[in-house]
Structure 1
Amino acid sequence: MTSAKRKLAVVVKGWPRLSETFIAQELVALEEAGYALDLWSLRFPTDKKRHPLHDRLQAEVRYLPEYLHQEPFRVLRGVVKCVFRDGFARAFGAWWRDLRRDRTRNRVRRFGQACVMAAEMPSETAAIYAHFMHTPASVARYAAILRGMPWAVSAHAKDIWTSPEWEKREKLQDDTFGATFLATCTGVGATHLQDLADRPDRVELVYHGLDIARFPPPPENRLDADATRFLSVGRLVEKKGFDRLLEAFARLPDDLEWHWEHIGGGGLSNALKTQADRLGLADRITWRGACDQPEVIEAMRRSDIFVLPSRIADDGDRDGLPNVLMEAASQKLCLLSTPVSAIPEFITDGEHGVLSSDAPSDLAAALEHLARAPARREALAEAAYDRLNAHFLMAPGIAQLDRRLQSLFAAAC
């Protein structure tokens, strides 16, 4: 793998975030490949815990003004320094065209953050790379124009499916100061974005994969328990489908002993707990809240079935290919999910796990079937583990990204 000597500025929405281990995994791998990184975060951390993986990152973390009025003098200094740069008129023009179509405070904040970033970036910075195609990519784009340097972006899920088409298209066009390349982690996302790009080869499918070395070997045998142990890990938001999973649990027959453990925080926490109480499920559920990765792995190792009932939210938001499915597969945990977005790119129904519709009646049938079929669970878990190791490890994706980043640095010459 090629080692890069020049500095790469990386824009993220927030750092660290428990729900974005795929970003931390990638950045640590890039540092180990020889990249010198500076991390620019648009928001301060809100999670009370952090993963051990976050502590492995050596990059300096710089926090941009989360709200412009909180650091007015810093923002003013950034704007004044940028006004005298050759790229200011082009950057301001690009931002103004965007603002006319998106008249929001967020759009104003993006330009202010970009000015601060462009003014404060070390002189040895050669290029900018953003995670997420919406807000972070906008800040990266404006800052890149201000500094006259190439930029690139990695797109994932919500940023693809909830961003307006005009914005995605313009970030993928040369004549609108578009990204040198865009990496995306699902085939379905890559196809969508290739249709919007001026050149399809600007978009490349790069699976995150899993750094299997971070995980213990799967347990030899799962301990017998009086009840089937279901586990879910995911934010309590609409697209995860936990409201429908609760309705499914309520349909399970009385003679089936089971318990569900949930890990993750999110805005729907109170509503879902109220729903569980209404359905008479409270005694069968443990709400763990946000956990670090060692705690998540421990829960996977003591569970029987991993359930992620993803669905498309009303605003179009949806999962991509959740890394947590691969993490569960690394512990030979039987997978039950839905055929949403890129999940079938990892799980073939009936071969590597079970893909059910998100209708509560269908989920309930799948839950009961797997609960009563331990041998079937074991066979599906073995197949998912083999698929993970054959096609979804981290190294190939990092090698792809390395080649693309080298082209980004070449464009800076």
Structure 2
Amino acid sequence: MAARVMYLTRSWPRLSQTFIVNEVLALERLGVGLDIWAMTPSGEQVRQPQVHRVRAPVSFAAAAARPEDHALVAELGAQRYADTARFASSHPELSTGYANASTTECFEVAVQLAARRARLEPEGAPVTHLHAHFAHDPALVALLAHLLTGLTYSVTAHARDLYQIPRASLRARAEAATSVLTCCGANVDFLAAQLGPQAMTKVRVIHHGIDLRQFTPGQTRDDGIVRIVSVGRLVEKKGFPDLLRACACLVGVGPFHLTVFGDGPMRGELEADRRALGLDDVVTFAGEQDSTVIVEAMRDADVFAMTPFVTTDGDRDGVPNAIVEALASGLPVVSTAVGGVAEAVQHGHNGLLAPARDVMAVSDHLESLLRDPVRRRMMGRRARQTAERAFDVDRAAEQLAHVFGVAEVTS
């Protein structure tokens, strides 16, 4: 019987979480059977075009498990069910900090997963492992499902979900998991300060890969305008006000245009900044777009720019997926040395890094690339090589298959 892995996410499908969809597709190319569970639909209107290629069934959890789900799970293990229900009700603190669901609500989702797993057994596709993307709600559900069923689970911790949950909550999730994965060494350093030595033996970096066949370098052109592109949600940690101020310093240096793809709560503020800085003619906010549009925009661009920073409440990026897409597209990257950015962008090699919030340094780096097309092309070639070496989604999927204990399906 073919093994199956349950994949648990907070919502599905999220435009900003392309890395999850690409990961799922790469695992399916390896022959890994998946069963996708989302705690809620994303509710987004724009979807990545590759979502429709996912073969795995996708289920959305209800607010509460049906009585027959509770009965089935209790019948399969009365003591486990009673102990887990008691554990959930007595540990409300496990859902404090960055969370969207209470511990009791996560228990209801865990019961639904356990019942689904039981119903799949007679179909000849046993679920042998559960993987939770994000260390907040999904990882808590995975912990509770583990207590209900004995099913092993792993967790991928990313950014806010890692940095904004209490230490005790993070420890509880990590100590019961078989593996704790994350996208960058900076996150490993943070985990080392939060977890005990035994839990740290489970921690490893697996970079979010991208499809290197989708993002490829475009044709070199020289029409006198240097095209800068940026991609990200318009939220505080992305640092778009700093990028706009850096661009304001470039006016008069030479013809350039910045296009920002993404949407979010800061859209109005950023448009006001654009007007105040006199950038209406050189900065375009293009809104949310799927990867088809982003691929073409990067193929037509000369430079990628992003200026993230750590917010006062600790929110930050790991390795932004858009930076990896830019590297694969053969673009030199101008960014800030925050989170795991420096693990993808090596200063002076495939891009240029500035200290966080240093607008003048960002502006100087952009100006140097605006003035030097030869340097842009040289860094762009190295950028592509970096993506091929360290961010191939198929290679990442092979590593994940080993973590899940299903590597034999690929041989």
TM-score in terms of structure 1 length: 0.89
Following the alignment from structure 2 to structure 1, what is the Cα–Cα distance between the partners of residues 173 and 145? 13
Match of 1:106 in 2: 101
Tell me the SS of whatever aligns to 1:260: strand
The one-character-per-residue Cα deviations of 1:5-58 (angstroms, maximum 9, x if unpaired) are 122111011111111111111111111212111100112122222223212210
Q: Indicate conservation of the 8 Å contact 2:3/2:406, yes or no.
A: no
Q: Indicate conservation of the 8 Å contact 1:111/1:142, yes or no.
A: yes
Decide which moves more: 18-27 or 90-99: 90-99
Q: Indicate conservation of the 8 Å contact 1:249/1:364, yes or no.
A: yes
Q: How does 1:85-100 map to 2 (within 5 A)?
A: 85-86=77-78, 87-100=80-93
Q: Give the letter for the 1:146 counterpart.
A: L
Q: Give the letter for the 1:304 counterpart.
A: D
Q: Indicate conservation of the 8 Å contact 2:303/2:333, yes or no.
A: yes
Q: Give the letter for the 2:109 counterpart.
A: Q
Following the alignment from structure 2 to structure 1, what is the Cα–Cα distance between the partners of residues 339 and 100? 31
Match of 2:354 in 1: 356
Match of 1:319 in 2: 317
Tell me the SS of whatever aligns to 2:308: coil
Deviation of residue 338 (structure 1)? Answer: 0.8
Q: Give the letter for the 1:16 counterpart.
A: P
Match of 1:209 in 2: 209
Q: Give the letter for the 2:154 counterpart.
A: A
Instruction: Pick the aligned partner of 2:263 from 262, 265, 283.
Output: 265
Following the alignment from structure 2 to structure 1, what is the Cα–Cα distance between the partners of residues 261 and 68? 43
The one-character-per-residue Cα deviations of 1:278-309 (angstroms, maximum 9, x if unpaired) are 22222322111111111101001111110011
Q: Indicate conservation of the 8 Å contact 1:130/1:152, yes or no.
A: yes
Instruction: Pick the aligned partner of 1:131 from 116, 130, 133.
Output: 133
Q: Indicate conservation of the 8 Å contact 1:194/1:202, yes or no.
A: no
Tell me the SS of whatever aligns to 1:213: coil
Cα RMSD of the aligned pairs, angstroms, is: 2.3
Figure out how many residues of one structure are paired with residues of the other and give that number. 394
Deviation of residue 324 (structure 1)? Answer: 1.6
Q: Give the letter for the 1:91 counterpart.
A: T
Judged with a 3 Å threshold, the aligned counterparts in structure 2 of structure 1 residues 77 and 313 are, in CA distance, closer, same or farther, namely: farther
Match of 2:274 in 1: 276
State whether structure 2 residue 391 is matched by structure 1 residue 392: yes
Q: Give the letter for the 1:398 counterpart.
A: A
Deviation of residue 80 (structure 1)? Answer: 4.8
Match of 1:40 in 2: 37
Match of 2:50 in 1: 53
Tell me the SS of whatever aligns to 2:252: coil
Deviation of residue 213 (structure 1)? Answer: 2.2
Decide which moves more: 300-309 or 202-211: 202-211
Instruction: Pick the aligned partner of 1:64 from 53, 61, 65.
Output: 61
Q: How does 1:191-340 map to 2 (within 5 A)?
A: 191-195=189-193, 196-197=195-196, 198-216=198-216, 218-221=217-220, 223-340=221-338
Following the alignment from structure 1 to structure 2, what is the Cα–Cα distance between the partners of residues 105 and 189? 22
Judged with a 3 Å threshold, the aligned counterparts in structure 2 of structure 1 residues 105 and 191 are, in CA distance, closer, same or farther, namely: closer
Q: Indicate conservation of the 8 Å contact 1:132/1:153, yes or no.
A: yes
Instruction: Pick the aligned partner of 2:169 from 124, 148, 167.
Output: 167
Match of 1:377 in 2: 376
Q: Give the letter for the 1:140 counterpart.
A: A
Following the alignment from structure 1 to structure 2, what is the Cα–Cα distance between the partners of residues 215 and 259? 21
Gapped regions of structure 1 (runs ≥ 5)? none
Following the alignment from structure 1 to structure 2, what is the Cα–Cα distance between the partners of residues 25 and 102? 29
State whether structure 2 residue 7 is matched by structure 1 residue 16: no
Deviation of residue 245 (structure 1)? Answer: 1.1
Gapped regions of structure 2 (runs ≥ 5)? none
Q: Indicate conservation of the 8 Å contact 1:5/1:34, yes or no.
A: no
Q: Indicate conservation of the 8 Å contact 1:180/1:408, yes or no.
A: no
Deviation of residue 320 (structure 1)? Answer: 0.7
Following the alignment from structure 1 to structure 2, what is the Cα–Cα distance between the partners of residues 158 and 33? 30
Q: Give the letter for the 2:302 counterpart.
A: D
Following the alignment from structure 1 to structure 2, what is the Cα–Cα distance between the partners of residues 88 and 408? 31
Q: Indicate conservation of the 8 Å contact 2:93/2:169, yes or no.
A: no
Judged with a 3 Å threshold, the aligned counterparts in structure 2 of structure 1 residues 219 and 118 are, in CA distance, closer, same or farther, namely: same
